[in-house]
Amino acid sequence: MKNIVWENLSFGYTKTNHNVRCYYKDGKWGEIEVSSSENIPIHIAATCLHYGQEAFEGLKVFTGKDGKIRTFRWQENHKRMVNSAQGIMMPEIPADIFWEACKKVVELNKEFVPPYGTGASFYLRPLIIGTGPQIGVRPANEYLFLLFGTPVGPYFKEGFKPVNIQIVRDSDRAAPLGMGTYKVGGNYAASLVAGDKVHKNGYAAALYLDAKEKKYIDECGPANFFGIKNNTYITPKSSSILPSITNKSLITLAEDMGLKVERRQVPVEELPSFEECGACGTAAVISPIGSIVDGEKEYVYSKDGNAGPISIKLYEKLVGTQNGDVEDIHNWVSIIE
Ligand code: PLP
Ligand code: COI
């Protein structure tokens, strides 16, 4: 067992034993290869370095009370990775390679998979990069699919405690007909300046508005946004946000709980009417939003430093399903071993 204090982990990188790689050459994917190196040799003219031909995913692995190791909806991550790859003209990664890679990385790094009850999980990071050289702006003819894992704690240091966030009005993360629905590295590069600014202002994350009209909520840093009022779960519909698997799951769980669900444009003016708000994603899980600041205005959702009752119920159902405490009625969980 490694000398890791699981409870103290933040969302950071810890070196593990092995990662896996699979190369695409001459129009086909090769065999999965295991590596103990944290480095990759790369051509100086690789398209990922110059033209951002890169897509990634993020999914978590959990240990249950029963000791079993579970993944959550990996098929959805695979589907989204295929979609992201298509969006930047990279080859599709077959589902069997994706799943074998997930299993192998878990099996080879078992001592890094946090035990039940620690609040930590094992985060899998698959990526595809264009490795073939091009100097013209064209897709590469060679690719690398890489998957590594690392134990992580909460994305926001507050964990399941409300965070304060700030609306950004002087930059956009993604354009309406751009790349926002794909999980490609360029979107995250595009968010760094705004992210740094809001952090320096003392906020946990940037809340982006739609790029065209600046009227509607888009998403919240590396997470989707939801608001709750009148027994209704409301989440933005937008052509420039990432289709979050966590949000999709919360929609189903909200319906199971008897809430109404609305996926539609959410005008900024609606913010004061919400009873609860949250940011959701694999890394963020549910991060309750304590307040949203927009210039001089502030909308407060938590006065006592705790999440609201519906967010708590959603969180318990989601996390319980992921670690096996709650019955997996939707068949979302795959047991690795
Ligand atoms: N939005 C962005 C920009 C993200 O990076 C993520 C993280 O994956 C999400 C939303 C949440 O998506 P998911 O729930 O699939 O992790
Ligand atoms: C995830 O939630 O898995 C993400 O990919 C967010 C990440 C950018 C930190």
Residue 90 has pLDDT above 90, yes or no: yes
Distance of CA 200 to CAs 193, 197, 229, Å? 11, 5, 31
Q: Cα separation of 175 and 167, whole Å? A: 17
Our answer on whether the CB atom of 195 is closer than 6 Å to any ligand 2 atom is no
Q: Residue 158: which pLDDT band, with cuts at 50, 70 and 90?
A: confident
* 282 CA → ligand 2 middle, Å: 6
Q: Mean of the pLDDT values across residues 64-69?
A: 97
- Establish whether domains 11-152 and 163-321 are of one fold: no
pLDDT of residue 2: 63
Q: Is 222 in the pocket of ligand 2 (CB under 6 A)?
A: yes
Enumerate residues 6+ apart whose C-beta is below 8 A from 336.
Answer: 61, 68, 69, 70, 71, 102, 103, 106, 107
Which residue among 188, 244, 285 has the greatest number of ligand 1 atoms within 8 angstroms of its CB, and so is best to mutate? 244
Q: Are 160 and 149 spatial neighbours (Cβ–Cβ below 8 Å)?
A: no
List pLDDT tens digits, range 215-233: 999 999 999 999 999 999 9
| Mean pLDDT across 239-255 | 98
Element of type H or E holding 189: helix 185-189
Domains in the chain: boundaries? 11-152, 163-321
Question: pLDDT (tens digit, 9 = 90+) per residue, 273-302?
Answer: 999 999 999 999 999 999 999 999 999 999
Has domain 11-152 been given CATH number 3.30.470.10? Answer: yes
- Provide the pLDDT for residue 108: 98
For residues 301-314, give the mean pLDDT: 95
CA distance linking residue 287 with residue 277, whole number of Å:
9
Distance 282 CA to ligand 1 centre (A): 6
Please state, in angstroms and rounded to a whole number, the distance separating the CA atoms of residues 157 and 11.
Answer: 8
The Cα–Cα gap between 153 and 144 comes to: 28
CATH number of 163-321: 3.20.10.10
CA 291–ligand 1 middle distance (angstroms): 21
Rounded distance from Cα 78 to ligand 1 centre (Å): 14
Is 185's C-beta closer than 6 angstroms to any atom of ligand 2? Answer: no
Whether 271 and 227 have beta carbons less than 8 Å apart is answered as: yes
What is the whole-number distance in angstroms between the Cα of residue 221 and the centre of ligand 2?
9
Quick: pLDDT tens for 96-128. Answer: 999 999 999 999 999 999 999 999 999 999 999
Task: Tell me the residue ranges of DSSP E strands in 36-152.
Answer: 54-56, 59-63, 69-72, 121-130, 143-152
Q: State if residue 186 touches ligand 1 by the CB under 6 angstroms criterion.
A: no
Determine the 3-state secondary structure of 51 from DSSP. Answer: helix
Question: Is the pLDDT reported for residue 1 higher than 80?
Answer: no
Residue 133's contacts (CB-CB under 8 Å, 6 or more residues apart) are 43, 44, 45, 46, 47, 140
